[in-house]
Amino acid sequence: GERFDYSAMTPAAKDKQPDCHGKMLHVEGLTPDTEREALDALCAQHGDVAFVDLVRAEATSAYVRFKKPAGARAALAAFEATPQQVGDTTPSWRLLSNDEADAYWERVQERRRERSEKAENPAAIGVREHGVVLHFDGAGDETDREELNALCTHYGKVAFVDFNRGDTSGYVRFRKNADAAAALHALTASRVSVGGADPTWSMLSDEEEDAYKQAVQERLDARKRKRDEDDGASNQPTREREHGVLLSFDGVGAEADREALYALCGQHGEVAYVDFNRGDSSGYVRYRKREDAVGALQALNDGAESVGGAVPTWASLSDEAEDAYAEA
């Protein structure tokens, strides 16, 4: 896919953007049923609001642009002095830096271009996009996936974080190359501590990215082979199959893939395998231990995390359903 370099834009192209500097607030911690009108009404008490951009895929974050910087500053000061409840939660607010505001606007423009291109050329929708994987090295001992995900989602939608606690390096895959480029620019311009150290960040070349994705697929295939071996062994009369280890999910988005599901579920225990084909909306996740599956079920339903652009529902299978699945 085409990579966008904001620094390479001509002054005339930049002038076509609305002036967002000092005017944009980012809010996190909303509930999925948050309405744009509620945010608009809340913010309008402190200044004229130009627009509210609710991240509808998850509806847990939003961007608010005021018409004047004074309005944004007044709103932020008011929300910090007296935290305001929105729906059933009290979200956090922050003022975007000028670079973040520019990166945000470019993401908006990128989405518009993509929609236009897809409308003109539907056959191009399935083309694999490059420039979406960042590599980092030199993270601190206390680094975990949650910290990395929280850091990188400031710059765009993260597909998954490929990292094991205790390592010093790993990968972050974004949904869009414009988001990955914005993240790389920000993370290299101002070194951000991760787990007590300042890692270095780089973007994989197209060839490196293809090799990395192939390696990920090989790891998944290896896990599947081990799963098949485990299933074969579990069918022996001397061993009894453990129940309560299999979760089903339904309602993932069109962009969901096994890597994202594995990374999400791996936060709650050791995953034996993910049974899912890209393009489907449902599948299964099997854990090694029953207690991990039980804890994951509650956490996944309580957390309501988006997978591929939609929030799926999770359920455990009955013993009979697990047996039928294993024998299918």
What does the pLDDT look like over 194-203, one tens digit per residue? 888 999 999 9
Please check whether residues 323 and 215 belong to one and the same domain.
Answer: yes
Say whether both 75 and 103 belong to one domain. Answer: yes
Clarify whether residues 244 and 265 are in a common domain.
Answer: yes
Q: Is the domain of 99 the same as that of 158? A: no
Residue carrying structure tokens 């090295």? 137
pTM above 0.75, yes or no: no
Closest CA to 61 of 69, 70, 52: 52
Q: Is residue 1 part of a domain?
A: no
**CATH number for the domain including 180?**
3.30.70.330
Q: How many domains does the chain have?
A: 3
> How far does Cα 63 stand from its chain's mean position?
17
d(C-alpha 59, C-alpha 31), whole Å: 6
C-alpha to C-alpha distance for 255 and 262, rounded to whole angstroms: 14
Residues 134 and 114 in one domain: no
Same domain, 84 and 40: yes
CB 282 within 8 A of CB 250: yes
Residue 74 and residue 140 in one domain: no
Q: pLDDT, tens digit, for every residue of 36-81?
A: 888 888 999 999 988 888 765 445 788 999 999 999 999 999 999 8
Same domain, 94 and 193: no
Residue 246 placed within a domain: yes
Closest to 160 in 3D by CA, of 200, 91, 219, 101: 219
Asked if the model's pLDDT at residue 9 lies above 50, the reply is: no
Cα separation, 28 vs 89, whole angstroms: 10
Q: Which of 204, 230, 261 delimits the end of a domain? A: 204
**Same domain flag for 22 and 74:** yes
Are 153 and 214 found together in one domain? Answer: no
pLDDT at 118: 52
242 vs 233: CA distance, rounded Å:
12
Residue 267 in domain: yes
- At 64, which amino acid appears? V
Element (H, E) at 161: strand 158-162
Whether residue 17 lies inside any domain: the answer is yes
Q: Is residue 307 part of a domain?
A: yes
Whether pLDDT at 233 is above 90: no
Higher-confidence position of 118 and 213 = 213
Q: Which of 227, 35, 203 is nearest to 131 (CA)?
A: 203
Alpha carbon distance, N-terminus to C-terminus of the chain: 39
Out of 171, 204, 237, pick the residue that ends a domain.
204
CB atoms within 10 A of CB 261: 23
Residues 110, 113, 115: CA angle, nearest 5 degrees: 110
| Rounded Cα distance, 116 and 125, in Å | 11
Residues 6+ apart with CB under 8 A from 185: 6, 7, 99, 103
More confident residue, 300 or 87: 300
Q: Determine phi and psi for 232, rounding to 5 degrees.
A: -65, -40
User: For residue 109, what pLDDT is reported?
Assistant: 78
Range of the domain at 197: 128-204
Residue 237 and residue 289 in one domain: yes
* Same domain flag for 135 and 230: no
Give the end of a domain, one of 83, 103, 120. 120
